[in-house]
Structures are given as C-alpha cells and as structure tokens.
C-alpha cells in the first residue's frame, strides 16, 4: 500500500488529501500539522475550513484511509510520497520584505524530513514557492542523506477556494515537474499513477522543475492581472457613462479573450494573488528585470486603487462624511462560499470607513467575530507603492463596529449598505424591507455588482455599483 503524508493541514492540504483518499482507496493518506488545534478540528464535526462538499468527502474517508494527526515525524518517516503544503506568506522583515516569499516553514519541514527519513522519499512541492526553490530543498535534503534518495517534484495546486472540491475532482490540469533524470522520471510516474486514478491522462502534464514552479506564479499573476484590467476599465466606465458589464460581455465574446474572470469588483483578495505577484516582482528584480517587475507591480497597485476608490465613493456620496453614521457591511470573506478572510478587500474598505469614523455593522454568513477582530486590528503591511489607503485608522479601542446575526439586523437604522462579498443570499434579500428599516436617504454601494440597481432605485435607494453609470 502506497503511503502518502501531507505536511500542512490547511486550505490546500486538507481538501487535496481528502480527494486523493476518496479517489485512491488503496492509498493511505495522513495529513499532519504542527497546529494541534487544526488537527483536532479536522477530526471533529466542525472542520477548520468551510468548502462546499468537503465535509461529505472527509466523513466518507476519515478513519478508513484518511487520517489527520499531530504525529508529524512518525507519518513523515513512514511515507513513500510526502506533500509539503505549508504556508509561504510574504516576508515582513529583512531582505526582500514586502515581496519575497517567506520560506521559513518550508525549510523547517524540509529539515525535519531529512532528519527523520529512513527510506527513499518523493518530496512534492504543493505549496506555491519561488522558481528554483527545489534546488534549495535538494541541498537541505541531501546534505546528510544517509544513503537515502530524495526526489523532488513540483506539483503546484490550482484549486480555487469556494470551489476546491469540484476543482480537485475535475481539474483543468494537474502539473507535475521533476528532474530530467531516471530517478526524476520514476518519481513523476509514481505521482502520475496517483492522479491517474481519476484525472484523464491528457489533463496530467509534465514539465521540468523550474517550469512547473514558475507556472503557478504565472497562473496567479495572469488571473489577478485580468481582474485588475477589468477593474481599471470599471473606473473609466464610471467616468464616461459606459457600463463595465456590457464592456465585459462584448470583449468576452472574442474567443481570444473569453468570458470568464471578467467581473468587475471592489478588488481581488485571498491569500495568494497579491502574495504570488509580489513574489514574482521580487524574482524579476533579483534577475535585473526591472521593467518586467514594474509591469506586474501595477496589477497590485490597481487593486489597491480600486479599494481606495470604493471607500472614497462611499464617503463622497454620503455628503463627504460618514462620521457617526451607521454603515452595514454585507460580506467580509474575500469571495463567496468560503470563510477565508486573508487579504480580503473588506479589511481595507472597513479600515477606510473606520478611519472616517463610521460605525460599522458587519455580517458574513461564514466569518466569525474573532476573525474580523483579528483582521481589523492588524496593521496593513505597506510596501513601496504610492497609493495610500485611508491612513488614519482609529486605535483599536476607538473603532466602532459590531457583528450582526443576519443582513436585516446589520442594515437596521443604517445610512448606507456596502456589499463586499458576492454571497448568493445577498441577491435574494428583501430590499424593500431593508429600505424601510434604513435611514433616508438610503445608500447602496455594490462592490460586487450583485443587486439589480434599477430595481433598487425604483424602491428609493441611491445606488453606486462598480463600473456602472452613476445614479441618474
């Protein structure tokens, strides 16, 4: 029986391994983590992350061929294939701070693998890492290899949060990069055999290690660039009377462009897009490719600009001050169908409004008060971009915000309502009831283009929607 161990039981490690266990009943999968709380949650009825379909898959496999454990070293030493899916955040201090990937967790995992291994291992980079990371990992693993062979593969994960299980069950592609040596080819085949249990052969593609590593950064950079492109257009639409949805529809009909990922919004978030682009920027700078670095930097700058544009629109529409006014925030997660708030645009928008002394009432179906508390108290890490969000956020104790049990409670007596996440339930709200319970004039600021602006205007709302003609 092939034994797989995954180091890191997070948003990637948990769902990915659950699907491997589901599709490969003859493989034993152990997911390990240094966070005992996370492992405890994976073994409980309250999984540590929310993903549609995840609970069913975990419940089907847990205790059979899927195990969540804190015994990291034991499972690593027993495994044939070790996935490393630890976090690789942006460095916050020292060389490359604000751009480079922090590989502290990766290095510590690699050192532990080297220490505890007693048999040959395939070590798979599942985390998103800078191109050439495998070279460093090889040095760590083989430094004192005790005659053990380590083969490093790059197998970046392309799942999107909110659709992770669907993406894993039916991936557009599985990418496996390895050394072009007999050992490398054998390792690639072993990993291919795992995925081949459910992924069609033409969707499993192989590459050299550096292409595979770089492809993940490139994919996220292209996706984020697409969002910043449409968001840049949304600003121009607002200035000219064009409608960004109509522009997206028109350009998306061009088969060279395609219709997907052309929705304008308050900005992209999530733990990956910004982090991976900054990482790309750093790699370009390290290679002396300054103009290329500047090109990718602009994607993040436009994203920051979009968030500050939204805040400015809220404040300027509400007669240039929101001081003491209640504003309802509907949606805090960075996208629908997830409870993840990492780098969510809601953080910057809320901080901007709190900076202008608004009173916020926040509602998100999957985000807890503790998460919001943590997010709003963290200071934004500034890197060298000139676009400043509202700089004067009141000290934590002076901030006035609370969390509501539902959307109707959040909007009661509010002067304005901001939609920051595209949860389906926000499309179905009774907006007449909401209008009746709000202060007048009642403002709606739709950061995700989920409401029917014309209908809301008929009710009496003043509506601002991203990239749409302003209230007539």
Residues forming the site for ligand NAD (CB under 6 A): 7-13, 32-35, 38, 72, 85-88, 105, 108-109, 127-128, 157, 159, 161, 271-272
Q: Provide the minimum distance between the beta carbon of 90 and ligand NAD in the complex, in angstroms, as a whole number.
A: 10
Give least dist CB 275 to ligand NAD, A. 6
* 107 close to 138: Cβ distance less than 8 angstroms: no
> What is the CB neighbour count within 10 angstroms for residue 461?
23
Q: How far is the CB of 125 from ligand NAD (least distance, A)?
A: 9
Spot the catalytic one: 5, 237, 272, 284. 272
Cα distance between residue 218 and residue 178, in whole Å:
18
* Order of strands, sheet of 416-419, starting from the edge strand that comes earlier in the sequence: 401-403, 359-363, 326-330, 416-419, 443-446, 462-465
Please state, in angstroms and rounded to a whole number, the distance separating the CA atoms of residues 185 and 42.
34
CB of 70 or CB of 208, closer to ligand NAD? 70
> CA 183 to CA 215: how far, in whole Å?
23
Query: Residue 418 forms beta bridges with which residues?
Result: 329, 445
Confirm if 340 and 49 have CB atoms less than 8 A apart.
Answer: yes
50 vs 431, beta carbon nearer ligand NAD: 50
Please report how many Cα atoms fall inside a 13 Å half-sphere around the Cα of residue 200, on the Cβ side.
Answer: 6
Sign (positive or negative) of CA dihedral 385, 421, 452, 223: positive
Nearer of residues 335 and 415 to ligand NAD, judged by Cβ: 335
CB of 389 to ligand NAD, least distance (A): 24
User: Which of residues 88 and 317 has its CB atom nearest to ligand NAD in the complex?
Assistant: 88
User: Residue 252 class from Cβ within 10 Å (0-12 exposed, 13-18 middle, 19+ buried)?
Assistant: middle
Q: In a 3-state reduction of DSSP, which class is residue 39?
A: helix
Smallest gap from residue 271 Cβ to ligand NAD (A): 5
Query: For residues 34 and 218, which CB has a smaller minimum distance to ligand NAD in the complex?
Result: 34
Query: 13 or 171, CB closer to ligand NAD?
Result: 13
Token couple for 428: 């179905």
Q: What is the DSSP letter of 342?
A: T
With a CB cutoff of 8 Å and minimum separation 6, the contacts of 347 are 341, 375, 376, 378, 380
The least distance separating ligand NAD from the CB of residue 85, rounded to whole angstroms, comes to 5
272 included as an active-site residue: yes
Q: Which residue is nearest to ligand NAD (CB)?
A: 10
User: Which is nearer to ligand NAD, 165 or 438 (by Cβ)?
Assistant: 165
Q: 389: Cβ–Cβ under 8 A, 6 or more apart, which residues? A: 304, 307, 308, 311, 348, 351, 352, 380
Q: How far is the CB of 283 from ligand NAD (least distance, A)?
A: 15
Q: Which residues are catalytic?
A: 272
């Amino acid at each position: 029986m092939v034994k797989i161990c995954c180091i890191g039981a997070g948003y990637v490690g948990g769902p990915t391994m659950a699907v491997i266990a589901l599709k490969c009943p003859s493989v034993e999968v152990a997911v390990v983590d240094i966070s005992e709380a996370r492992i405890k949650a994976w073994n409980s009825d309250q999984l540590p992350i929310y993903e549609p379909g995840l609970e069913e898959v975990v419940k089907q496999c847990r205790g059979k061929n899927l195990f969540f454990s804190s015994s990291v070293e034991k499972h690593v030493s027993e495994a044939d294939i070790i996935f490393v899916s630890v976090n690789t955040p942006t460095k916050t201090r020292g060389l490359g701070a604000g751009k480079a990937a922090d590989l502290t967790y990766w290095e510590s995992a690699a050192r532990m693998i080297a220490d505890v291994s007693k048999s040959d291992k395939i070590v798979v980079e599942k985390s998103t890492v800078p191109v050439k990371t495998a070279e460093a990992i090889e040095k760590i693993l083989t430094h004192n290899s005790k005659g053990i062979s380590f083969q490093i593969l790059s197998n970046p994960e392309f799942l999107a949060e909110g659709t992770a299980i669907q993406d894993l069950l039916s991936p557009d592609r599985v990418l496996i990069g390895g050394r072009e040596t007999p050992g490398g080819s054998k390792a690639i085949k072993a990993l291919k055999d795992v995925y081949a249990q459910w992924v069609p052969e033409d969707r499993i593609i192989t590459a050299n290690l550096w292409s595979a590593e770089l492809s993940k950064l490139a994919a996220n950079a292209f996706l984020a660039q697409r969002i910043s492109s449409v968001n840049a257009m949304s600003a121009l639409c607002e200035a000219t009377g064009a409608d960004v949805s109509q522009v997206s529809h028109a350009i998306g009909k061009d088969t060279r462009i395609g219709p997907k990922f052309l929705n304008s919004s308050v900005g992209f978030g999530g733990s990956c897009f910004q982090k991976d682009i900054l990482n790309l920027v750093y790699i370009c700078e390290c290679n002396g490719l300054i103009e290329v670095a500047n090109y990718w930097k602009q994607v993040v700058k436009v994203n920051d600009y979009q968030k500050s544009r939204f805040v400015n629109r809220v404040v300027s529409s509400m007669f240039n001050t929101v001081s003491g006014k209640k504003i309802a925030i509907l949606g805090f997660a960075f996208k629908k169908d997830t409870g993840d708030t990492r780098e969510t645009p809601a953080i910057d928008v809320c901080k901007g409004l709190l900076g202008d002394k608004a009173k916020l009432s926040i509602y998100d179906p999957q985000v807890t008060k503790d998460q919001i508390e943590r997010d709003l108290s963290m200071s934004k890490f500034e890197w060298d971009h000139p676009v400043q969000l509202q700089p004067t956020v009141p000290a934590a104790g002076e901030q006035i915000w609370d969390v509501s049990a539902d959307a109707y409670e959040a909007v009661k007596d509010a002067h304005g309502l901001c939609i920051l996440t595209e949860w389906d339930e926000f499309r179905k709200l009774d907006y007449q009831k909401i209008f009746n319970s709000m202060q007048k004039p009642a403002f709606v600021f739709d950061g995700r283009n989920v409401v029917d602006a014309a209908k809301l205007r008929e009710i009496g709302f003043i509506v601002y929607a991203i990239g749409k003609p302003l209230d007539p």
